Structure 1
Amino acid sequence: MSPRVLFVSKPIVPPYHDGTKCLVRDVATHLTRVSPVVMSAPNVEPLAPGVEMVAAYRGAGSFAPALSDNLRAATWLAARSRAAVWHFVFAPNARSSGAGRMLKRLRRVPVLQTVASPPREFRAIESLLFGDVVVAQSHWTRERILEAAEEEGTAPPRVEVIPPPVPELESRPLAARRKLRQTLDIPAKAPIFVYPGDLEVSGGAEAVARAVEPLCAQIPDAVVVFAYRPKTPKAHDVARDLKARLSPKQVRVESELADVLVLIEEARAVLFPVDDLWGKVDLPIVLLESMSLGVPVLALDQGPLRDLAGVVKLRDADGLAGAAVNVHQDAAFRAGVIEEQRAGIEARHRAPVVARAYEDLYLELAQ
């Protein structure tokens, strides 16, 4: 019988809009040598045949599960889990990591710990990491962990790098793309450039705002769309400010699109001059999806984003407008970017590839 692996995470329930849920879903549904067990809520449909769903939570919860939900999940883990390996997938913090460490000691189960998103600061690193093997989702995060351990004089943990997965994606129907243009009042032939990021955490939105004028000076009919999901109430304040000071002809600011990939696939490029990925997966899933769909991605050449293969890398945000114009106007360059991005996705990010890398670690820990 294959060993059982329990994914310890927030409740895995629809919708799948954040990186942690997507990682658990995409890895669990592509395992072939172990039996996955996923922490979910009552009456949730299985992810796939062979994936066991356990009602460790009361319901779907919010972006961050409430303390009562976490206590319920911890109680289930302590008393009812029969898995050979636990795979913790969460953004490490002292409280959650302390609970995980205690449960590991109590049940004596080997633990793999994925850093779902890097902490704001890599201080007191021993209080954040407790896995027998730690998985970072970028080389940048791995380096920060090892640097922190060295600076604090602690034994470095074993840290492997496994990038986040992206599933195979179907092209969105042309009718849906045309309808979206009508909904956003974007002319049928207007080139679209999309910023699919936060408005209130990083400097990405402001960098794109600065690029609107020089971009539209060279591509007069271009439309830049800020497509965001609010993480805090401040997001809507920033959205109102962007609408007030940017041309309504050149800019749209949209929250919670039903399917952002309809917009992405209609775009000439994805603009992502983000300098702070706190609260996000190292390599945001929307960027991997864009690459998979054949849409050029423009990103800063710094931090975790350096691991993105084939994208247009920017030394700084000041080069954003020029790079966007180039990828729009130079057909050969654009085709090369698309080809390299897709090759990078196939080699490193397809769900079966990522699942195999995790599965090797599960089997090692289960021995």
Structure 2
Amino acid sequence: MTTTYYTLGNSGLRVSRLALGTMTFGTEWGWGTEKATARALFDAYVEAGGNFFDTADAYTGGTSETWLGEFIAERGLRDRAVISTKFTMNLEGPEPNSGGNGRKNIMRALDGSLKRLGTDYVDLYILHCWDRLTPPEEVMRTLDDLVRAGKVRHVGLSDVPAWYASRAQAVAEFRGYEPVSALQLEYSLAERNIEHEFVPFGTRHGAGIMVWSPLASGLLSGKYRSGDAGKASGRLETVRGTANPGFQKFNDRNWAIVAELEQVSATLGKSMAQVALNWVATQPGVASTIIGATRLEQLKDNLGALDFEIPAELRLRLDAASRPATPFPYSFFGPEIQGGITGGAAVGDKPAGYYPDLLMRGTFAGVS
């Protein structure tokens, strides 16, 4: 892995362009890794120069946070490690205030995460999912209080509507709260809908995108082919019956993307996973891409994803095969309607470099 780092949004926090996802640390969910394998994955990532670790209180019943904290402590890496964890999910059963994004649960959840991680602060604390209830004013005030208390360094949002993220950032700016530095969102060749609103929001308002599921839960890894569904043994088969939309990947559109990715990868002489990761990590607005693995060889392959460039003509083929539909109102923002607004005058967006796009320009090479 090339040891370059991007600043996370408009913050001064320098993070690896590839982050180590630890949702696979533990076997409580029926897939994942035993502790020895998890430690080997952690060690390989650190030795490759990585410094950014993503977890959550809900991952594998807390095992993910516990093991990650142990591994960091064993190597004495707390000052060098950037730890990201998340809150929202209810781990206590039918108890209304043990989940969600209200002030009571945020503070409860953070205390639990700090205890499991064996640290007195986290570098990035992220709202895991919109609860359709708590106003952003309450969330941002609470997160700002935790920053001021020294328990959190930076804050982020995951899996929220774009209007909610925009409101949260506006509240933070107006009231002088800690701003949103990261948006953790699903993004891959198979799932590109964040391009409609989140990428423009993040680049203009200082929130770097942390990509989750860049391989579409393994669909783009080369493990699956059309006609093989129901036969393979990967995660998508293990969780086939789940209602989680992040795992609903078997459809004709995605099989066409897999076929094109396979051809492009063969042309480049790279694995399908490497090409899919490279495409995501080099898209506009992306600060860091979360990679996860259950085997050491998988991780080592992923760590080589930024050691090459995808030529423009091959990138165009991937873009064309994976281009998402353009729903209303975005269909009104193309050249036909916009021409009616400008009267045919050549009026474009600001030139490159106009926006203070630190997440694309703030790279730091060398120290690992």
Which of 1 and 2 has greater Rg?
1
TM-score, normalised via structure 2 length:
0.34
